[in-house]
Amino acid sequence: MSDVETGTVTTKVPARLDRLPWSRWHWMIVIGLGTVWILDGLEVTIVGNLSAQLAKPGSGLEITQAQVAGVAAALYVAGACTGALFFGWLTDKFGRKKLFIITLVVYLLATLMTAFSFSAWWFFLFRFLTGFGIGGEYAAINSAIDELIPSRHRGRIDIIINGSYWLGAAGGALLTVPLLNDLPVNIGWRVAFGLGVVLGLAILLVRRNVPESPRWLFIHGRGDEAEKIVGDIEHDIGEDKLPEPQQSMTIHTRKSIGFVRIAHTMVALYPKRTVLGLSLFIGQAFLYNAITFGYAQILSTFYGIDTHTGYYFAVIAIGNFLGPLLLGHLFDTVGRVPMISATYIGSGVLLLGTAWLFNQGVLTAVTLTACWCAVLFVASAGASSAYLTVSEIFPMETRAMAIAFFFAIGTAAGGIAGPLVFASLVESGVPGNTALAFCIGAVVMIIGGLVELFLGVKAERKGLEEIAAPLSKAETEPAT
């Protein structure tokens, strides 16, 4: 598909959005869009902690624990990668709002059907489709959030929102405890999936009030709509309190951006940023998708814990959320490069230490959980910053597709192959094999941190258009 230009417009919409003070309207954006990560955390954690229960006789499924932690996890991630690419393209073409409604509906339907699974193939199919919807959410939501949040708050808010995944993880972990212990073996896991549907419906009601991205609107020739949305926000906040926006830009409006132009942008216009995005996503995907998917399997295999895994996972989930919550503001003040590299390298080093202790046989279920809590406190802020990085360092017209591309490639590398390989390593029952899994995740994470040191972009407190000028902007200047 080729580019189709439709005219020219001069606008101050980006400057007007960036000058806005934090308001109730921004909280609506955070709640309506950001809470989807809670759903993702709930999904992954419920399945991980139910793996032993699903494998029990009488569960209603003929499935093994390794299949739940391995095949089902890999299919969920494969669906997320596919959904990210498919819906990412649609998000850049048809807008953020349409797609973040559609993707949530896909998630809700697939999760509901998972609750009615009667065989392994049905469970696998709808785990794939659930991931398909969640993957689309990543592309649509991250692009919308960064385009609506003022630049001085963007780093902190984006990192905390992505970190809210772990609130869902903690909730999912705790929910599985009574569901596993107080309900029949063939009922509890079905109720767990049903709770995800209820939460998703609540989010859908809030999300209906979130507007389309004004940045997307003016680039696609709908400048009047963009001006009205921003004008309504300014009116609610109080226009007399706002400084006069100084910067304007001239845009060649267009209906679509061709795949050739998108590929050229990533490979030729921003090659170093492309390498950076891949490194950050592959690093965090290996550490998280390849290892935490199987944490319940580790507790069951090495410590004989199969019905109270939720308590242990809730602890590391809380540590994960506290990382972005307490460190997030430093990404806007200390800066992107020092903070991203420090969190990636630091978490990798801590994980290598955990691997050594585990292999020595000196860790109990409690002390292993404590080690993981420390590792993921640091790693979580870094992993969240990967999404922030790729959503702000590429031009507006390719933002959703860029997020989708890096998410798909990085997550496929760490999240599809990882669970399949690592589930087998853990299932062997040999501590050295599980320690090897830890070491692989640690080394890849450290490599990502080193790449950030050399290729990182100083994007803190800068407008999106300053970091990467829109492709449609007159006299666009290339960057590295």
pLDDT tens-place string over residues 363-387: 998 999 899 899 999 999 999 999 8
- pLDDT of the residue at 294: 67
Which pLDDT score, from 0 to 100, does residue 1 have?
Answer: 43
| pLDDT bracket for residue 38 (50, 70, 90) | confident
* 43, 196 contact by CB (below 8 A): yes
Residues of the chain above pLDDT 90, percent: 27
The one-letter amino acid code at 377 reads: F
pLDDT at residue 338 tops 90? yes
Between the ranges 24-33, 195-204, 323-332, where is the mean pLDDT highest?
Answer: 323-332
The letter for the amino acid at 67 is Q
479 pLDDT tier (thresholds 50, 70, 90): very low
The span from the CA of 376 to the CA of 370, in Å, is 10
Residue among 95, 100, 102, 101 nearest 218 (CA): 95
Residue 277: pLDDT over 70: yes
Is the predicted pLDDT of residue 420 greater than 50, yes or no? yes
| pLDDT at residue 476, rounded to an integer | 45
- CB atoms under 10 Å from CB of 64, counted, come to 16
Predicted structure pTM score: 0.82
Mind listing the pLDDT tens digit for each residue in 300-335?
888 887 666 678 878 888 888 999 999 999 999 999
Rounded to whole angstroms, the Cα distance separating 247 from 325 reads 32
Q: Which candidate, 67, 189, 165, places its Cα nearest to that of 117?
A: 189
Beta-ladder partners of 254: 5
Span 211-247, pLDDT tens digits: 889 988 888 888 889 899 999 888 888 766 777 777 7
Return mean pLDDT, the chain.
84
Query: Which distant-in-sequence residues (6+ apart) come within 8 Å of 68 by Cβ?
Result: 47, 50, 51, 54, 55
pLDDT value, residue 228: 92
First to last CA, the chain: 26
